[in-house]
Structure 1
Amino acid sequence: MNTRNVAAKINDVICDKFDIDILEKGLADKHFFSRDVNLYARNLVYILFETEQLFGVKLNEGDVLSDQFYTLNGLSELICSKTS
């Protein structure tokens, strides 16, 4: 699975739950907590759980604390590195 497909699936999760279409708005490299994306810390718990379930991966504390976890493109790359 490539990062574009992973990003689309994660974006669908975020769009369905939080009504924010990050890809459509061109915000894939924006921090989830930025004013443009406007997610809250509590939302990341849902994203973490759904992402692990959807892709069958386990993200550790280091993954969650890394800068990659906080943008759509970064999270997609992180997931791809765990599934390859």
Structure 2
Amino acid sequence: MEYIEKRLDDIFKRRFGIEMGPNKDKFRDKKLLGQEFGMPAKDLLYLFFDVEKEFSIKIPQEAVVSGEFSTYNGICQIIDNEMKR
């Protein structure tokens, strides 16, 4: 999972200028669109496509609808599950 987190952290840094490393524990289970994290909805869409491209996966629609693709930990879990297929 460390490999996934490093690459996901790189996406956050490259795309949004957000250094997740030191803040990761604070935001792991916070909603990315929530008040604490404050990501605009359009950025979540960019993140969706960046993750699919970076990891060469297809994120299931169910993962988005269920809200799993709304937290850092949720995204890591989706990536891990899809890479095992």
* Same fold, TM-score > 0.5, yes or no: yes
Matches within 5 A, 1:34-73: 34-73=34-73
Give the TM-score normalised by the residue count of structure 2.
0.83
> Using the alignment, how far apart are the partners of 2:18 and 2:81 within structure 1?
25
Aligned to 2:32: 32
Aligned residue in 2 for 1:6: 4
- What is the root-mean-square deviation in Å for CA atoms of aligned residues? 1.5
Gaps of 5+ in 1: none
Runs of at least 4 residues off by over 4 Å:
none
Q: Structure 1 residues 56 and 6 mapped into 2: Cα distance closer, same or farther (>3 Å)?
A: same
- Give yes or no for contact 1:11–1:23 (8 Å, CA) kept in 2: yes
Q: Is the 8 A contact 1:10 1:51 kept in 2?
A: yes
Deviations 1:24-64 (CA, angstroms, capped at 9, x unpaired): 21311111012221111101111111100111101132122
Moved more, 20-29 or 51-60: 20-29
Aligned residues: 82
| TM-fit CA distance, 1:77 | 0.5
1:22 to 1:38, Cα distance in 2 relative to 1, 3 A: farther
The unaligned stretches of length 5 or more in structure 2 are: none
SS at match of 1:14: helix
